Amino acid sequence: MSKFKFFKPIFVLIPLAILWLFSCEEDDEPLETQGSVTGTVTEAGSNKPIDAAEVTLSGISQSYKTGDDGKFEIVDIPEDMYTISVKKPGYKENKKQVSVRASYITNLDFSLEKATAKLKISPTSLDFGDVESEKTLLISNVTQIGTIIYKAKAIESWIKIIDGKGTIAKSETGIVKVSVSRINLSAGKYNGTVVVKSNQELDNYKLTIINRWGNKLYESHSLSDSWDGKYNDKKCSTSTYFYIINYSYKGQRKIKKGFVYLF
């Protein structure tokens, strides 16, 4: 008879230790908390780039200038809400709100409208009392651009205007003398009105004189200039000449045409 010998299996458990090493290191790079703003500043209507425009952010003392291409770039701005202001002499200031986000470049373009000369009268009322007969009005061009031509006129006959018209360039002041005559006025209080008319809000003025063949003889960009009837310092011959006046009024382009006859 066959005999079978049974072997009892012996399992030896060898513990296997697996060591996981974790390394915790601090990140030397701080979290990004700053962003940037870029943009282009152009002239309203023409879309021409405006160089040397001043760009400022609210809460930040430093200002920035646009390049020849009208572009600007402001970097390393702390994440927050800001008001960006863009201005340049001769243009109206423009402001916009911007949200600066960390690690982002925000593009914000600006369009600046041309400013117009603005007239200021001071004081706005004159009190002559019982004995005074002459007082002074100051006519000022309070903007940094343009030239204002003004003319003062009294409505009442007992008010007289002295030196009532003139031309004032940027930041200049003209003087108008106002006098009153009490002759033929009975005792009492009188109110009068002085009206000052001007070309304020008129901009981009250009006067062109041409002959019958369309040749340009004269051009001026100043309201205070006038054509003397000469071309290259020589008096023009007797004939009909034509004028073209281009200008802007309250932002609207205007054109006037006509003719003059030289004797």
- Structural domain of residue 180, as residue ranges? 119-184+191-198
| 258 within some domain | yes
Note whether 127 and 180 are same-domain residues: yes
- Count other Cβ atoms within 10 Å, centred on residue 74: 23
Q: Give the pLDDT confidence score for residue 206 in this predicted structure.
A: 86
Retrieve residue 109's tokens.
């373009």
- Count other Cβ atoms within 10 Å, centred on residue 199: 20
Retrieve residue 3's tokens.
């005999």
| 21 within some domain | no
pLDDT digits (tens, 9 = 90+) for 143-198: 767 778 889 999 999 999 999 988 888 778 999 999 999 998 888 888 999 999 88
Note whether 123 and 179 are same-domain residues: yes
Cα of 32 vs its chain's centroid, Å: 36
Note whether 128 and 101 are same-domain residues: no
Q: Give the pLDDT confidence score for residue 145 in this predicted structure.
A: 72
Which of the 8 DSSP states describes residue 31? Answer: P
The span from the CA of 161 to the CA of 163, in Å, is 7
| 159 within some domain | yes
- How confident is the prediction for the chain on average, in pLDDT? 84
The pTM is what? 0.50
The span from the CA of 209 to the CA of 48, in Å, is 28
| 125 within some domain | yes
Retrieve residue 125's tokens.
């009322």
Q: In sequence order, what are the beta bridge partners of 91?
A: 114
| 15 within some domain | no
* CA angle at 134 for the pair 153 and 148, rounded to the nearest 5°: 40
Retrieve residue 120's tokens.
């200021």
For position 66, which CATH number holds?
2.60.40.1120
Q: Please name the residue that has the structure tokens 């009188």.
A: 190
pLDDT digits (tens, 9 = 90+) for 88-129: 987 889 999 999 999 999 999 999 987 777 888 999 999 999
